[in-house]
Structure 1
């Protein structure tokens, strides 16, 4: 097999891309560094020139995923302006879209067991992604009387958890958990129920 990583001139990225493919196929703990090296077309020893071990390789895949995720959330948030409600709902839909478009990154970020504090770079970019959701929640929650207003971090965490649940149960073909409704509809209706409970949108007629 040709040594594609060396020919590309970017072995580090070739290994990340190999890991992402293996993560999609086998899960974050279902492959070895040797398999990643073989996928990238290099020897196992070459991996250690760039990564201390499998966790470091998965951490880099997660870091790149969070970078894409933060960009996607920022784009969605800005696309929904000037309506605070539209911007917030757009962020929820962007979460689902990201999970579908980048499954390897998503798994590395949320299902690998790698802490966001594994490296300063990972911690920084994950905080940026959370910050977009919190800003969207903060802007929207300003429409609620202050004495009834939840903290923006709690507000955004609720929607993050709901989005994650829809992805895990219904958007990634989990066996035995197929829903009669599209994941987008489940998420939209769930967010609607939550926002009605906070008085941010009127009840159904």
Structure 2
């Protein structure tokens, strides 16, 4: 993400610090950057960030909050596009997850790898829930298409697919492990989701149209 240098005197200090934090997270990880480094990159004094943020963790939580907003938009867009079946939709959402992690690494690391306590920040938790609700919706469609007696809990499936997506990102999409496998991260996730859903009896050789 290219950083546009700004200054407090132009009224953009908050945005400049966020952009600086994203840059530093991408370069050194979410645990290594400091508030003073963000201030230096934004071209302001070490004391200036405290006009907008209580400390480093406060800035990190704001980066994560903005990341979840963009993440939710990306998943929602994927959910609403393309093929007509619930399985098509869930595969698109998974692909969107991987694409977001690749294209917005600073956001992704702040969201999932920084150690911030999402549930302790109500605003942050709400945008997290908004993003997760997309996966809940597409999973609900898939479960609703199955016979009532075979329907597993929607939230369980959604959490499993979320965890599977995150695991693929960590092991294959942004890791050196990707160099020792012949399969792409997208193929690994797609096949893993298919195997998982088939094991739950949610496919059964049919792909009903979405309602």
TM-score, structure 1 normalization:
0.92
Structure 2 Cα separation of the partners of residues 36 and 76 of structure 1: 33
53, 56, 75: which one aligns with 1:54: 56
Aligned to 1:161: 163
Correspondence 1:169-184 to 2 at 5 A: 169-174=171-176, 178-184=180-186
| Residues 77 and 88 in structure 1, CA contact (< 8 A), matched pair in contact too | yes
68, 71, 80: which one aligns with 1:69: 71
Confirm whether residue 15 of structure 1 aligns to residue 24 of structure 2: no
Aligned to 1:83: 85
Structure 2 Cα separation of the partners of residues 94 and 8 of structure 1: 36
Aligned to 2:8: 6
**Cα offset for 1:196?**
1.5
**Cα offset for 1:31?**
1.4
CA RMSD of aligned residues (A): 1.7
Structure 1 Cα separation of the partners of residues 138 and 148 of structure 2: 17
Count matched residues. Answer: 201
178, 185, 188: which one aligns with 1:186: 188
Greater than 6 Å deviation, 4+ residue runs:
none
| Residues 171 and 178 in structure 2, CA contact (< 8 A), matched pair in contact too | no
Structure 1 Cα separation of the partners of residues 168 and 108 of structure 2: 14
Aligned to 2:208: none
| Residues 59 and 118 in structure 1, CA contact (< 8 A), matched pair in contact too | no
Aligned to 1:96: 98
Q: SS of the residue aligned with 1:113?
A: coil
**Cα offset for 1:44?**
1.1
Correspondence 1:95-134 to 2 at 5 A: 95-134=97-136
**Cα offset for 1:134?**
0.6
